[in-house]
Amino acid sequence: VTMSLRAHGESHVGKVRDTNEDAVIVDPETGLYAVLDGMGGAMAGDVAAQRARDVLHAFVVERRNAMEPAPLLTAALNAASSAVHSEAQARRDRKGMGTTAVACLVVDGDDGPNAKKAIIAHVGDSRAYLLRDRRLTPLTRDHTVVAELMAQGAISAQEAETHLYKNVLSRNLGAKAETRADLAEVALQPGDRLLLCSDGLHGFASHDALQYLVGSNEPPEQVARDLIDAALRGGGGDNVTAVVIEAGAPELPRSTQILRTSGALAWWSRREVFLATARERGVAQSPICAVLSPDEAIDIVAGNLCEAVFHDLEKSTGVNVWTYAENLAHGWLDQGGHYGHLAELLDMLAGAARAVIAELRGLDAALAVLVDTGVTRALQVADMAIGGVLAERLRAVEADLLRVHAAREAQEAREAPRAFTETPTIPWLRSARVEPAEPTPEVRAGLDAAHAAAHATLADRTLVASVLAALHRLAVDAEATAATDAARDVWDTRGAEDKGPAALFDAIDQARAALGHAVRQAEPAPDVAIATLRRLAAAQAELAIALAHVAIEAASPGAGRFDDLVRGTAELRSEVARNEARIAGFERRPPPPGDSTQRREAT
Amino acid sequence: MPDEATHARTFRALRPMVLARLMEVRSSLDHGLAQLDETGARVQLDALLSQLEGYLGAADPAPLRNFLRSFLTLRAAQGLPPDSLLQAAVAIGDTCVQIVQQEGGTTAASAELACALTRAGAVVTRLLVEHIAAELDRRTGELRALDEGAPS
């Protein structure tokens, strides 16, 4: 059977720009698909993208039977770059124009014409993704200054988020006559989908949203439109273009087919049960519904979720529930609402869903299991969407914190060069500090004195005392295994009230504060104070990470084997009890006539 | 209808297959796992599967929650952003369900197990979202304190 391909491309000017500088190629006959994103509004970005598109397309069409696919795409992108570069050089009003490009050429696979493979070449930050087994994986790495710095290990992912050159491309078509494209190759499998897109899509819609939309069972035409809508909902701050290529229709499992038809209908026909239970469970009393009348609250909050779940069951997607939950979260959090109320509301609605499933279970148990799975998944999607909104806000707060800390450090450096600035323990603002292997005698004395002073104030708390000892040990000991040993010691001294990592990290913070205070109280020479505090900060970061490892170690399969033994013993006990009951049954049973044992006993 | 112990037993039998699949795709699950050596990644993923099995057997979310707190702390300490954690956790849950559906076919027992695993996945997701919310509260408080001029 020949693998059939379906593809569709959509482009939109977005909500901010006046012109669309993106260009697109969807040519199923040649097997060529591409997205190009022109640069420099005043410098004819649209001209660059269109010129590169035309040259790329013509080059591939003319030479596709004469060249191997990968060199063909590379040469075509070079030809496009050369054409844009020449035009930019020739006309002053077009100087500096350029474009990104991600191009995909689908050709027969290595196993013959029934298989297909996709060759992908890209320059710049337009991307290609592969959807397989419902996971969306990037096939390209952005050619931006920041991405290249990250690849070299010069900056962290966190620094990249706020880097000044975040959007500056390191490669494009047109800057030079020749360009350097990166290549990727994928042997396509039935059900795979490829997404090519400009940064107007991946910059304004989350990875989760892209994964859900591309992974839905909608045809490529609808998926491309949904993707554009998602980017517009996310702000639409740039031109947005998406090309979706589908390699054969995915074969739906039987359970999914049943859920899409009978399951979705069974859910929808019990809408009243859902709404009535939502009312009973107090949905209308949630602070989130405070501005609505009780009827409106049920109708809007519960009714819309019920409908979104129905559509998602019907289409095996999560996009409707995702949108519902994302809007709910934005609306509530924007007005200063707390996450706890969102979770409570979702739990009430989950309770209403369980009532529907319970009713269905009495009528058709097999269908009820499928609906239960589908609805549980839908509510999980709602949680994920809310998590996405919270994570977005967390990133914004992190960026603000970084700015504030950087400003403070800069100010302190101006006021007192080589001053020490405290940084929080975990997890995202950690900065690696390189310390000498051994502390100097003065610093060692400072560490000893600080440990003694802090211990004297906090010794009544065993866990904190143990953390103090661990921090002291790490600050003075440069051995590679010191952190793990120290973390194990701390782990072993936890009391019954100290379970869970939160207590551990609270203890680290308390110990750190006490040590910092002790160092400052001792008023050593500024250089010694700074070096002492730095060693303690490094020790604290090391201990935090080592403790997290120990926590995982404690819950690893090694520890799980104990649970297995406990379970196994319980099973054996049940087996013994069953056998004893059977023996007792045999003993109670009357003997058959002529049984010699009976005769002997009678005798 | 299969009981919890049966679910746990069936899942235990499938665990090697789930683990093998997760090892194959680990670089797309979570970059922290991709950076670990094979043994390290296997130990961490198997620890998670072991907890899921425990949840299936006991239907008690408390041990799973306790384990996930540690797991999360480790991943966060490795610098994995919280929404990536969410994606990774959901992807691991999805992989478990896919293997169950693939191996169990259309039997009632397979459907029940897929449902139980989906529930476990939902518990994991909720915990992660709670963690992100708590972290947001903490950081917002910290920012507010800095804005007001309090010491960090």
Cβ–Cβ contact A339 with B under 8 A: yes
DSSP A330-399: HHHHHTT--HHHHHHHHHHHHHHHHHHHHHHHHH-HHHHHHHHHHHHHHHHHHHHHHHHHHHHHHHHHHH
Residue B51 has pLDDT above 80, yes or no: yes
Tens digit of pLDDT for each residue in A288-302?
A: 999 899 999 999 999
Average pLDDT over chain B, rounded to an integer: 82
Cβ–Cβ contact A432 with B under 8 A: no
Q: Which chain B residues are closer than 8 Å to A135 by Cβ?
A: 25, 28, 91, 94
The predicted structure's pLDDT at residue A496: 61
d(CA A235, CA A14): 8
Q: How many CB atoms lie within 10 A of CB A528?
A: 17
Q: Which chain B residues are closer than 8 Å to A398 by Cβ?
A: 139
End-to-end CA distance of chain A: 84
> Phi and psi (nearest 5°) for A118?
-115, 130
The predicted structure's pLDDT at residue A569: 64
Residue type, A155: I
The predicted structure's pLDDT at residue A598: 43
Token pair 């019954």 is at which residue?
A: A496
Cβ–Cβ contact A549 with B under 8 A: yes
Token pair 């070096």 is at which residue?
A: A531
The average pLDDT across A14-28 equals: 91
Cβ–Cβ contact B3 with A under 8 A: no
Residue A427 has pLDDT above 50, yes or no: no
Q: Band of the pLDDT at A184, cuts 50, 70, 90?
A: very high
- In chain A, which residue's Cα lies nearest the Cα of B114? A373
- The residue among A342 and A497 whose pLDDT is bigger is A342
The predicted structure's pLDDT at residue B41: 83
- The residue among A601 and A25 whose pLDDT is bigger is A25
Cβ pair A35, A7 in contact under 8 A: no
Q: Which chain B residues are closer than 8 Å to A390 by Cβ?
A: 82, 129, 132-133, 136
Q: Which chain B residues are closer than 8 Å to A391 by Cβ?
A: 81-83, 86, 132
- In chain B, which residue's Cα lies nearest the Cα of A570? B5
Tens digit of pLDDT for each residue in A216-253?
A: 878 899 999 999 998 988 888 889 999 999 997 656 67
Nearest residue to A196 (alpha-carbon basis) of A208, A217, A210, A182:
A210
Radius of gyration of chain A (CA): 32
The average pLDDT across A125-154 equals: 86
d(CA A568, CA A330): 48
Residue A130 has pLDDT above 70, yes or no: yes
Residue B57 has pLDDT above 60, yes or no: yes
Cβ–Cβ contact B61 with A under 8 A: no
CB proximity under 8 Å: B 21-50 to A: 25, 28, 43-44, 46-47, 50
Q: Which helix (H) or strand (E) holds A187?
A: strand A182-187
Q: Band of the pLDDT at A474, cuts 50, 70, 90?
A: confident
Nearest residue to B2 (alpha-carbon basis) of B103, B106, B98, B112:
B112
User: Which residues, in sequence order, are CB contacts of A534 under 8 Å at separation 6+?
Assistant: A420, A433, A435
Q: pTM (2 decimals)?
A: 0.57
The predicted structure's pLDDT at residue A235: 84
Cβ–Cβ contact B107 with A under 8 A: no
The predicted structure's pLDDT at residue A317: 81
Count A/B contacts: CB-CB distance under 8 Å.
182
> Phi and psi (nearest 5°) for A292?
-110, 150
The average pLDDT across A483-501 equals: 71
d(CA A451, CA A469): 7
Q: Name, of A3-7, A81-85, B142-146, the range with top average pLDDT.
A: A81-85
Nearest residue to A308 (alpha-carbon basis) of A379, A359, A394, A395:
A379
User: Which residues, in sequence order, are CB contacts of A486 under 8 Å at separation 6+?
Assistant: A469, A470, A471, A473, A474, A543, A546
Residue A90 has pLDDT above 60, yes or no: yes
Distance from CA of A408 to the nearest CA of B (A): 10
The average pLDDT across A314-335 equals: 90
DSSP A392-438: HHHHHHHHHHHHHHHHHHHHHHHHSTT------SSSSS-------SS
Nearest residue to A48 (alpha-carbon basis) of A76, A75, A81, A12:
A81
Q: Is A60 helix (H, G, I), strand (E, B) or coil?
A: helix
Cβ–Cβ contact A397 with B under 8 A: yes
Helix/strand/coil (H/E/C) assignment for every residue in chain B: CCCHHHHHHHHHHHHHHHHHHHHHCHHHHCHHHHHCCHHHHHHHHHHHHHHHHHHHHHCCHHHHHHHHHHHHHHHHHCCCCHHHHHHHHHHHHHHHHHHHHHHHCCCHHHHHHHHHHHHHHHHHHHHHHHHHHHHHHHHHHHHHHHHCCCCC
